[in-house]
Structure 1
Amino acid sequence: MTVMTGAQALVQALKHNAINTVFGLPGVQLDHVFDALYQERSAMRVLHTRHEQGAAYMAYGYAQSTGRPGAYLVVPGPGVLNTATALCTAHAANAPVLALTGEISTRYIGRGFGILHELSDTAAMLAPITKCQVFADSPARVPLAINDAVRQAISGRCGPVLVQVPDDVTAQRGEVSLGTPAVRDPDPAPDPDLIEKAATLLGRAQRPALFVGGGVLGAEEAVLALATMLEAPVIMTRHGRGALSDRHYLAQTLMGGHRLWPEIDVVLAVGTRFLEGGEAWGLDGRIKTIRVDIDAIQAERPCSPDIKIVSSAKLALAALADALGRHNRKRASREAELDGVKQAALKKLSLLEPQKSYSDAIRENIPEDTLVVTEMTQVGFYTWMGFPVYAPRTLIFPGYQDSLGFGFATALGVKVAHPDRAVVSICGDGGFMFTMPELATAVQHGINLVTIVFNDGAYGNVRRTQKLQFQEHFIGSDLKNPDFMTLAKAFGAVGMRANSPAELGSLLPQALKAGAPVLIEVPVGPMPGWQALMPRAAVRGPRA
């Protein structure tokens, strides 16, 4: 054992768990922790932000783009509550975010004295949006708390976790053992009998399909092997995109999946909430469902499957591919058919202009391995199914919360995690302004992100709804924006402006080589609504 302060124990425990980057803001309950980080500044990168929400979103971007824990550090009370939206986003996307928060001194906890930053029960407030809440009441407990929290964040169905360390504990000295660093708990092995039943069902199927979500990431090789054996389309949700490259004829977005759904006789749903297929599109007696999920409860939602396999995607799909050889029928190529489905979906999406042209201009003028973070904006909505994706974790979304304003700060975290790769943030003017002050963070820390702001001077979805459904009763939807080029330059970033898809395409290579944070403003007018094109209608049987 080594004698150290609780603050030093926290920093050493992070290092022990291979966490070398922390986003955050200092404050009185964290004074000793930030001093401990200073002592380890050669090994720990600390990126201080202009708002706690920005720090938490950066940790989310770091985690979501790597699959590894992203950590942030904030004071209790208003500090940690400022991160709640980002935590909610991480929870919706099953991202392993490590929320580290100080706490008031232990002698005051629960006494209601009104101590600075006091909350009656932080853990209870954040329990619905965190996998676990861990409290360290001594220096010796700090590494154990970190090890346990990281283990839970990366095990099973991943998710955000909370660690609380009171300020008196951070100052206290004591004997500390770092213990065993966190490793992912062993995933449950798939039941061999269920694997055999599932392989039999798939092997006999005439029109099988895979339906995959974010839980399939990491099992891309098995997805390709199984889909190829079955000649089965791989229908990918937003978070599952990239599990199979869009260049492959078997790769389908939800729009293509919706078109195929009426004829599918066996669907293998992997690592997904399955809301589209299992709830929106409808099920009937002619379709059999097989669910693979690490979460046994999730595998029963929104409806009970015919076969439920509780395991990781990687283990279960590998076992299925092995067993399928004993049951699979001879299959003709479906390449021409499925390419036709894909082209029909893209033709339908082409009605969305200028969204399509701007999306195409971005895709055609950035490197193939660029990481793109979308937003709740018109071009962003188009990317859900119209933007080609070639690898997993390269198109980042905010889970089912669809948190307006998540994009810019999240993209900064993605860029920190991938400093040698191009990262592009697609924002609207409304969403960008949520975390706009983090431009200062980007400049100060040399986070050379390229941010595209589509500026229509409005919360576009809301204004369109007010126009079409509420007799042009415009209220709360018009925005008065700054001159974004001037704003960028005021922060020390590079400001550019593009007035067309062609201009945007020509600016992107320059922006990626600028060696500085770049903000590209794209003035636009109202864009056509995308909602009517989304594949939500029931096409077979009742909804769940």
Structure 2
Amino acid sequence: MPDTRLTTGEYLVRLLESYGVELIFGIPGVHTVELYRGLPATKIRHVTPRHEQGAGFMADGYARVTGKPGVCFIVTGPGMTNIATAMGQAYADSVPMLVISAVNSRDQLAMGQGRLHELPAQRNLVAGVAAFSHTLLDPAQLPEVMARAFTVFNSARPRPVHIEIPLDIIVAEAQHLSTDAWPLPCRAAADPAAIARAATILKGAKRPMIVAGGGAADAAAEITAIAERLDALVFMTINGRGILKPGHALTMTGNLGMPPLLDALAASDAILAIGTEFGETEMYPEPKPLSFGGPLIRIDIDPAQIVTGLRADVPIVADATLAAASLLAALSETRKAGDGAARARAVREAVAAGLWPACRTHGKLMEIVARALPDAIVAGDQTEPVYAVNQIYQAPQVRSFFNSSTGYGTLGYGLPAAFGAKLGAPDRPSVCLIGDGGLQFSVQELASAVEAGIAVAVIIWNNSSYGEIKTFMAERDIPQIGVDIFTPDFLGLARALGCEASRPASLAEFESELKASVIRKVPTVIEIRAGSPFAESLAA
């Protein structure tokens, strides 16, 4: 008779499919192979990175573009320590990620017997970069634990969740369990009294300002309508770019640490902040204390965040879209006539006048990218081009511009994140902005992209050094040790890994390579050498 027994590993993938999971990033190992047994019975696609950190960064890029959790299957021990950095980046930027790992059998946990991949307490190790970390001690717990995880992703502040399954539980029988997804709680609506207080303040304001962060990405239509109704200036954080469409008259550029933005905050008589931490990583190159000229209204899904850092005069714990819709309904239907567009233009002009030369160089680079690849998703690393375009870039829509210069600040992020983004939005161009130093953290993922048929334009800014750190050391009269690094032949390396690769000599060649990248089936690696005639032409 055929074996009809359903193991917990097989049950798990069916349960994930019922929650809408379409893609899993993972590297099979002897402790996780049983998670793979049931995959052929589902429609879930599996992508194999070359390092668990790459798996996490791919899941991160996928999640940022889709708004859905990126899912990873990770081996016990070294797999979990490898992915911990990616979880840290996702935790800092509120990105939904589900990491499912194995762990030693229940009778072996914490015994210190030198088992394969054994850690004293694997769950404790990753708990600090997860909304929660759970050890599954019985198959019957899995439906409830999975519902908790997807409630975090759907109804709370999204962050990584880790579920570890002991080896004896993975093979335990689970055919008696339902594969139906649990109904998830609705997102939190705003307190009507708090909305009324906020509306009163904003209606009475003559110089209101809105600060919109990544937590407000799904409220773009409502925030745009509020801004236009109030004639309010709007600053979008890096993860909030695209909430207002490019060229909108009320948009401000720069970052909140720049004098024009600090002045705008101080001159505003009401500030509406939605889905933002006011993080110091937004204020490159030097964070500054913020001072507001009027009451601060703060909307956030996380009640702890709303009382962190800055005192809110009107704290509103709610989903950004629901709160913004309620606030819009409470405001007057009549659009305020005012000088908001003129004030926003003045801020943009003041920011432009104070920008450093690299902003002009890389601003031109991004103009060519936008012309060649309209509606592109841009995933960036920690590198000069990213720090520069963070000050001026206006994304074509939300969930289209993100990088590791925010939050945790991880090198090597941009390449796998761009791959994950492309998998999440296969019909849109995807671009990676990365430096030679950051690329060497994750260059092996080019092979996984070739294998998976992921077409991404990878733009390398090659200055043969950790350039930002080198400059930082020089400015402080610190010996520049460890920052001038050997860089390989990136074009030869890319071709050896199966990619297309070029070093354009002109703006026209650069644009041509970008356009070609979308019709290829593999990554297109485009190297720009700092100080080359082509790089100098960008600065002209």
TM-score, L = length of structure 2: 0.91
> What's the counterpart of residue 280 of structure 1?
288
Change (3 A) 1:427 1:372: same
Change (3 A) 1:441 1:102: same
Structure 2 residues not aligned, in runs of 5+: 533-540
Change (3 A) 1:330 1:23: closer
Indicate which of 327, 336, 339 corresponds to 2:342. 336
Task: State whether structure 2 residue 468 is matched by structure 1 residue 461.
Answer: yes
Q: Is the 8 A contact 2:34 2:171 kept in 1?
A: yes
Q: Quick one: which amino acid aligns to residue 401 of structure 1?
A: Y
What whole-Å deviation, never above 9, does each CA across 1:247-297 have from its counterpart, x for those lacking one? Answer: 21112234463352231111011111124699834326x421111111112
Shift of residue 388, structure 1, vs aligned partner: 2.3
Q: Quick one: which amino acid aligns to residue 357 of structure 1?
A: K
Q: Is the 8 A contact 1:359 1:379 kept in 2?
A: no
Structure 1 residues not aligned, in runs of 5+: 527-544
SS in 2 for 1:305: coil
Shift of residue 226, structure 1, vs aligned partner: 0.8
Q: Is the 8 A contact 1:144 1:178 kept in 2?
A: no
Indicate which of 400, 404, 413 corresponds to 1:406. 413
Change (3 A) 1:501 1:460: farther
Q: Quick one: which amino acid aligns to residue 356 of structure 1?
A: G
> What's the counterpart of residue 231 of structure 1?
231
Shift of residue 378, structure 1, vs aligned partner: 0.6
> What's the counterpart of residue 300 of structure 1?
307
Indicate which of 314, 317, 337 corresponds to 2:321. 314
Q: Is the 8 A contact 1:139 1:176 kept in 2?
A: no
Distance of 1:465 and 1:157 partners within structure 2 = 34
Q: Is the 8 A contact 1:53 1:83 kept in 2?
A: yes
Task: State whether structure 2 residue 220 is matched by structure 1 residue 220.
Answer: yes
Distance of 1:36 and 1:257 partners within structure 2 = 54
Report which stretch shifted further, 301-310 or 158-167. Answer: 301-310
Q: Is the 8 A contact 1:428 1:453 kept in 2?
A: yes
Shift of residue 419, structure 1, vs aligned partner: 1.6
Q: Is the 8 A contact 2:433 2:460 kept in 1?
A: yes
Distance of 2:175 and 2:188 partners within structure 1 = 36
Indicate which of 371, 391, 396 corresponds to 1:390. 396
What whole-Å deviation, never above 9, does each CA across 1:177-200 have from its counterpart, x for those lacking one? Answer: 235425553233222122111111
Number of aligned residue pairs: 520
> What's the counterpart of residue 61 of structure 1?
61
Report which stretch shifted further, 398-407 or 333-342. Answer: 333-342
SS in 1 for 2:240: coil
| 1:499-514 pair list within 5 angstroms | 499=505, 501-514=507-520
Q: Is the 8 A contact 1:195 1:320 kept in 2?
A: yes
> What's the counterpart of residue 18 of structure 2?
16
SS in 2 for 1:129: coil
Q: Is the 8 A contact 2:279 2:407 kept in 1?
A: no
| 1:329-478 pair list within 5 angstroms | 330-349=336-355, 351-352=357-358, 353-367=360-374, 369-398=375-404, 399-470=406-477, 473-478=479-484
Shift of residue 514, structure 1, vs aligned partner: 2.6
Distance of 1:156 and 1:193 partners within structure 2 = 22
Distance of 2:184 and 2:296 partners within structure 1 = 29
Distance of 1:82 and 1:319 partners within structure 2 = 43
SS in 2 for 1:433: helix
What percent of counterpart residues are identical?
A: 32
| 1:118-137 pair list within 5 angstroms | 118-137=118-137
Q: Quick one: which amino acid aligns to residue 98 of structure 1?
A: L
Distance of 1:317 and 1:141 partners within structure 2 = 37
> What's the counterpart of residue 537 of structure 1?
none
Shift of residue 485, structure 1, vs aligned partner: 1.2
